Amino acid sequence: MELTGAQALMRSLEMSGVEVMFGLPGGAILPVYDPVLDSPIRHVLVRHEQGAGHMAQGYAHVTGKPGVAMVTSGPAATNIVTPLCDAFMDSIPMVVVTGQVAMSAIGSDAFQECDTTGITMAVTKHNYLVTDPADIPRIVAEAFHIATTGRPGPVLIDLPKDVSNATMDWYWPDGVDLPGYRPRREIDPAAIAEAARLIRTAERPVIYAGGGLLKARAAEALRELAEMCEIHVVTTLMARGVFPDRHPLCLGMPGMHGNYTAVTAMQQADLLINLGARFDDRVTGNPAHFAPGAKVIHVDIDPAEHGKVRVPDVPIAGDAKVAIEALIEVLRPGDGSAVTDAMADRSVWKSTVSGWQEQYPLSYDQPSSGHPLKPQYVVEQLRDHTPDDTIVVAGVGQHQMWASQFWQFDHPYTWVNSGGLGTMGFAVPAAIGAKVGRPDRTVWAIDGDGCFQMTAQELISASAENIPVKVGILNNAYLGMVRQWQELFYAERYSEVYLSADHPDYVGWAEAMGCVGIRVESAEEVVPAITKANAVNDRPVVIDFRVDTEEKVYPMVPAGGSNDDIILGPEGDADAALKGSAPS
Amino acid sequence: MWQAVVSGPQGTNLSPEESAVVSLPQEPDLHIFAAIVENKFGVLARIAGLFSRRGFNIFSLAVAPTADPSYSRITIVVDVHNTDVNQIAKQLDKLVNVINISELHPSDSLERELMLARVGAVDLEAVVDVISEYGGEVLDHADGEAIVSVSAHPDRLDRCERQLRPFGLHVLQRTGRIALRALDADEPAVGMTA
């Protein structure tokens, strides 16, 4: 069967199981947009190519399937570089197709030409420039294989216009042949045995649960391990929800804005069991002072993570779920006795940890009526007045941290955010992608006013495509996190951070985009507005929550500082905290 | 790239005054990696880009197709002064087009590098005296200049280069080293799980 390259591309996407793609057409990708009309794949038309990329990411986050985006050459390709980099940093499976000028024009500075594969080389797991239409099925099959196996990531396919127009004899490859790509790694039994030995003898162990556990679909295995061994779990920003916040062993989020107990438990641990995390600087603070007394077990499917930041005592290269199951197998006694019988006495540690939890909970002070409305209160009310399995999507900044801190995540794949790259504007398009992937779920974006202004136009896409997401803007009229740093570290010299609460008029803007717009200015109005928003299911909703400009995110470990120097905030007694009754 | 005397843990046979000729801000710590890669366009850019963005310092790089022209063999000499050797190998191994990567230890490897130089040769015999010690040859000679070719172990090439310098080293082109594991050497021990 003879197909054009364009038809072969769409056919190959169908063969790869693609159900939805996000994109925007243009000159060089025009040939491929013709067979889009005949394809069963749903295409969501975006208003800006960055939106297509973040939608694909949101879709991938909540479904576990690769997100797919397609845009044209030149400026469209450069517009999608940010989502590619975001997906690369957070290991999100994604396949992006870009149009390219005709082969004969490549290198001539043709209209809308850019060196897309050159530009994206550093932000993709792999990329391709297609030079022969006969290669299209093979390349698409390889792209999905690479994007979804091993450590997931984005793959880009750059497709010149003449290659789309040329014909090829259709085929679909039986498999992929990539001699240099070996994503499967067998778990080393000796490393598992050594890890089990460290777990048995540790007096102050902490499981450091990372986003890799979600990629490995390892939430249940993690829970079994934690419960069997009675080990506390911290869940990083990328791992929120992989272990239920309501679980008695859950300590919540560690890191720069982690809670006191999570930060301090890691800091004073004698064993860190890192499962699919990467010792990010937002978790470790100054790595030279991070968890100084801890031995480290590090499970990662990417062996290059071993020793990149912290040299592990026991590196385990491989799939986190397989590794955890192997650990459970080794740790479980044959005679049916409790696993903990064979372990060191941890009663002192457990009481120390619960003492911290009692003494240093996350806190804020919402005045009983009226102003100022606290952003944390808004997050708590959203949490309490939405379904238990609501998907929460955040942008980047203060609102992101408050969402992570004050939401209660009890299910995996209910939290979508930009962790590694920290992409402002992520929330609106990612929420749309998440809702497309899970139309059965309520999807709330908790956004900041600065973030919202970066990508809000995608709500037009959502209105047009009938994707009823809900957006709560924590509108503090500032680039709040930058303002917080300027207040704390730049002597309150506020440089270029004021945005105004009134401009734009978020309600009017929402309505202009086909959404329901609601404004909330006091605590009393919060719950009625949320209830009203939850009742809308035929269009997006935007709530403009006017929140306290002065509110800051605490606790906080100053950048580059030691996690021992955690600042609890105005209500907390930091000195007392630092003297906390830690075991030696 | 530096005009550097190679000295360091890989062991050289230079006398103390020879290795003290050039002073560097830091002593380089050179390691040799051999990578077999798919012979496709862009692969060299991927490798160079990886080194650049991870902050690895390439000292020299030589690349050409293998006996099977669908693959190329790349010899990369890296200054690992501020870098973990294993990180370099592991990050390189993540590139889809890299088939395998191994570290070649100088003690069990054979290294060569080729130099072409245009030197002052008013006294051609003196130039010939120098290069013949290294098995070199004169390729061209005219108007008091000569183009010479020398192939040798890179450390010996450094020495030859220094000895040619007084004649006037008008143009110098070195290829960067290539290396093969010696026949009786053990297989590589770099942390590759492939």
What domains are there in chain B, each with its CATH number? 28-104 (3.30.70.260), 109-179 (3.30.70.1150)
CB-based contact (8 Å) between A317 and chain B?
yes
pLDDT digits (tens, 9 = 90+) for A9-18: 999 999 999 9
Rounded to an integer, what is the distance from CA A354 to the centroid of its chain?
A: 29
Closest residue on chain A to B50 (Cα): A122
Could you tell me the CA-to-CA distances from A125 to A68, A89, A515, B26, B72 in Å, in that order? Answer: 15, 10, 37, 34, 21
Nearest to A146 among B37, B96, B191 (CB): B96
pLDDT in tens, B152-176: 999 999 999 999 999 999 999 999 9
| Mean of pLDDT values over A144-165 | 98
Distance from CA of B87 to the nearest CA of A (A): 6
pLDDT at B12 over 80: no
Fold agreement between A2-169 and A375-546 = yes
The fold adopted by the segment(s) A2-169 is: Rossmann fold (3.40.50)
What type of residue sits at position A257? H
Residues near A177 by Cβ (< 8 Å), separated by ≥ 6? none
Q: How many CB atoms lie within 10 A of CB A295?
A: 18
Please judge whether A180 and B37 are an interchain contact, meaning their C-beta atoms are less than 8 angstroms apart.
yes
Q: Is A279 a catalytic residue?
A: no
Residue A30 to residues A20, A55, A319, Cα–Cα distance (Å): 19, 21, 40
Contacts for A296 with CB less than 8 Å, ≥ 6 apart: A271, A272, A274, A310, A311, A312, A313, A314
CB contact (8 A) between residue A118 and residue B45: yes
A336 lies within 8 A of chain B by CB: no
Q: Which CATH architecture has domain A375-546?
A: 3-Layer(aba) Sandwich (3.40)
Q: How far apart are the C-alpha atoms of A327 and A274, rounded to whole Å?
A: 13
Selecting from A118, A122, A306 the residue whose C-beta is nearest the C-beta of B53 gives A122
Q: What is the pLDDT of residue B28?
A: 77
- Indicate the residue type of A413: Y
**Owner of token pair 């944390």:** A376
Q: What percent of chain A has pLDDT over 70?
A: 97
Sheet holding A250-252, edge to edge: A250-252, A232-235, A205-209, A271-275, A295-300, A314-317
Tell me which residue of A328, A324, A352, A339 sits closest to A204, measured CA to CA: A352
Which of A298, A311, A308, A262 shows the shortest CA–CA distance to A283? A262
- Other C-beta atoms lying within 10 Å of the C-beta of residue A517: 19
Q: Do B87 and A122 touch (CB under 8 A)?
A: no
- Rounded CA-CA distance A494/A326 in Å is 53
Fold annotation for A189-359: Rossmann fold (3.40.50)
Helices (H) and strands (E) in chain A, counts: 24, 20
B70 contacts chain A (CB < 8 A): no
Q: How far is A122 from chain B (nearest CA, A)?
A: 7
Task: Give the pLDDT score at B9.
Answer: 37
Spell out which residues of chain A touch residue B191, defining contact as CB-CB under 8 Å: 303
B129 touches chain A (CB under 8 A): no
**Cβ neighbourhood burial of A470 (10 Å; 0-12, 13-18, 19+):** buried
Q: Which amino acid is at A389?
A: D
Q: Which amino acid appears at position A453 of this protein?
A: Q
Catalytic: A453? no
- State both tokens at B126: 């003196």
Mean pLDDT over the full length of chain A: 95
Determine which one of A14, A19, A103, A112 is catalytic.
Answer: A112
pLDDT score for A185 = 82
Lowest-pLDDT range of A332-336, A473-477, B159-163: A332-336
List chain A domain ranges. 2-169, 189-359, 375-546
Instruction: Determine which of A308, A310, A316 to mutate to test the interface with B (most B C-beta atoms within 10 Å).
Output: A308
How far A87 CA lies from chain B's nearest CA (Å)?
17
Q: Do A180 and B97 touch (CB under 8 A)?
A: yes
Written as six digits, the tokens of B90 are: 């592991």
